[in-house]
Structure formats: C-alpha cells, structure tokens
Amino acid sequence: MQNFVQEGNTITVTSPAIVKSGDGVVVQNTFGIAAHDANLGDPLELVLEGVFTLAKAPGLITQGTRVFWDDVAKNVSPVVGIIVIGVVTADSPAVDFTATVRLNSSF
C-alpha cells in the first residue's frame, strides 16, 4: 500500500505543555501517554495503545469501568468527561491513588 504511514499505536504531535515521560496528554480530541519528556512546542511521541498505571480520582473504580481523563486534575475518573480514554483492568479501591487502564485509541 503506497498510502500506509504507520501502525498508529504512537503518533508524533506538538507538545501542548511541558510534559514528563509517562504523563497523560490531551491534544484536541486525542489522549495519549508521553513517551518522553518534552517542552512546550517540542515534537512529542504519544503512545495511544497499551495498559498504563495512571493517577486516579478519589473513590472506588471497578474492573471494566470506562474512564475519562480529567485534564485539570491530571487523573482518570469514572465521571463522564470530554475524552474517554479506556477501561480499568482491575479493581482500584478508594484508598488507591492509581488505576490500571487499558487505553482505547479508537473513537
């Protein structure tokens, strides 16, 4: 195929802020995990697929729950938000500060 560009599990974007490797990043309607540190305006590789441990909003989030990215709090939440990012792969008790999330790169 002459029109094939790449697999699509990572993409290069312009960093919308100063980010650290592993940070959740929103660019318009796209959510991904920063593959490396970047400054505002730098090229940034975003990982769109995979399972990641991410900061979460307080409270229980059960396995299979669809989660959204809160770009203000910089965490995942079961409260309906702007960008659905995936599903929690294991129960995350209220006392935990993180959740394991399988990213959903499709819309």
Sheet holding 50-55, edge to edge: 50-55, 98-103, 83-88, 66-70, 75-77
**Cα–Cα distance, 50 to 32 (Å, whole number):** 10
pLDDT of residue 107 exceeding 70: no
- The model scores a pTM over 0.85: yes
pLDDT per residue over 55-73, tens digit each? 999 999 999 999 999 999 9
When pLDDT is cut at 50, 70 and 90, the band that residue 7 belongs to is confident
The pLDDT value recorded for residue 55 is 97
